[in-house]
Structures are given as C-alpha cells and as structure tokens.
Amino acid sequence: MSNFKFTKTKIDGVIILEQKVFGDSRGYFMETYEKRKFAEGGITAEFVQDNQSMSTKVVLRGLHFQKTHPQAKLVRVIKGAVYDVAVDLRKDSPTYGEYVGAVLSDENKKQFYIPKGFAHGFLVLSDVAEFVYKCDDFYYPSDEGGMMWNDPEIGIEWPLDGIEEIKLSEKDKKNPGLHSLSF
C-alpha cells in the first residue's frame, strides 16, 4: 500500500498529492518523495534542483515560468499556508490558459505537481510561509518569464477576502497578460 494519494485535476498532468503522516506525542514522520511510487502515480520527472523561499502575508509571487527551459515542479509548504496556482501555457493543450489552484499548508501537508509548460505562482495566506520545491531543470535567469497575476482572460479566483492590497515585486507588477506572451 502506498504512502501517497495522487489526485488528478481538471488539467492533464497537474496532480495534487497527499501523503500518509505517522504521528504520535513526539511529533510526526512522512515520506515526501519516492521515485518508484511517484512514477506509479504518473510523475516521472527527474528532479535536479531544490529551492526554498520564505514570504510574509499577502505576498504574491508569480506567475513565473521558464521560456525555453521549462521546469516541472513539485511544491509544498513547510510552514504557514499559501494558495498555489498553475496556469497551462502549452499552446497545443485543450486547457491552454486555464488554471488549477490549491491551498497548501503545513497543516494539510499537500503537495502540488506542476508539469513543464505552466506558469506558477502563489499567494501567502498566513503571517509567514516557507515554501519548498523540486525542479526537473536548472534555473536560467535569462530565460525567466512572467505573466500578470490577475489577467481577466484567465480569471484566477485568488482568495482575496479581507485583503486590501497584495505585495508584488517590481518585476511582477510589469508582467503582461496571457495573450501578450512571446516565447
């Protein structure tokens, strides 16, 4: 029996993962990645880089992608909570321009698999969030792309209740909409 549950989403290739957590009065243990079990669940990416970030409440990072070196990502939150989003940028996909979103937190311990060809971003819902992710290709700064987080053509339903203003980087404030992207 697997320690992982792989749930397919409305977009082919995007998967939400839940894993068994073994806990007692001392704390908990969980397996977060196992190559053979992931392959059985449809994830065959060979991860080559791990990243970690920390962000404060109402920070929105994204939506980011690599133009010619697309990365598949396995993302999770180890502290706090975020609303995580993947937007399909695969021009030949029947779901081009659609998105999947999920709340990831240290409490639900869910992971989100985002295949190559997607823009990715997240909104921090807690006071602080620590975010970790695996990538199947290296990061090339000159290859980075971004798209508008609130593009009306995509219509992402960010959980903005009670949020008056989000915090964006200067770079993310200038990102174009989906139909202005070129890569």
For residues 41 and 6, what is the distance between their CA atoms, to the nearest angstrom?
A: 6
The yes-or-no answer on residue 64 being catalytic is yes
Residue 94 is predicted with a pLDDT of 97
Residue 182 is predicted with a pLDDT of 76
Cα 25 to Cα 18, 22, 118: the distances in Å are 22, 11, 40
pLDDT tens for the chain, 183 residues: list them: 589 999 999 999 999 999 999 999 999 999 999 999 999 999 999 999 999 999 999 999 999 999 999 999 999 999 999 999 999 999 999 999 999 999 999 999 999 999 999 999 999 999 999 999 999 999 999 999 999 999 999 999 999 998 999 999 999 999 999 999 877
Residue type, 75: V
Residue type, 105: S
| Number of residues assigned to the chain | 183
Pick the catalytic residue from 33, 64, 69, 96.
Answer: 64
Which residue, chain included where needed, has tokens 């007692």? 24
Cα 44 to Cα 13, 52, 90, 115: the distances in Å are 11, 22, 19, 10
Which residue, chain included where needed, has tokens 């068994």? 20
- Using a 10 angstrom Cβ sphere, with 0-12 exposed, 13-18 middle and 19 or more buried, the burial of residue 67 is middle
Cα 21 to Cα 81, 84, 108: the distances in Å are 18, 22, 10
For residues 112 and 181, what is the distance between their CA atoms, to the nearest angstrom?
A: 25
- Three-state DSSP state, 182: coil
Residue 1 is predicted with a pLDDT of 57
Pick the catalytic residue from 133, 139, 140, 179.
Answer: 133
The fold adopted by the segment(s) 4-180 is Jelly Rolls (2.60.120)
Q: Residues with Cβ < 8 Å from 129, sequence gap 6 or more?
A: 54, 55, 56, 77, 79, 80, 81, 82, 122
The yes-or-no answer on residue 179 being catalytic is no
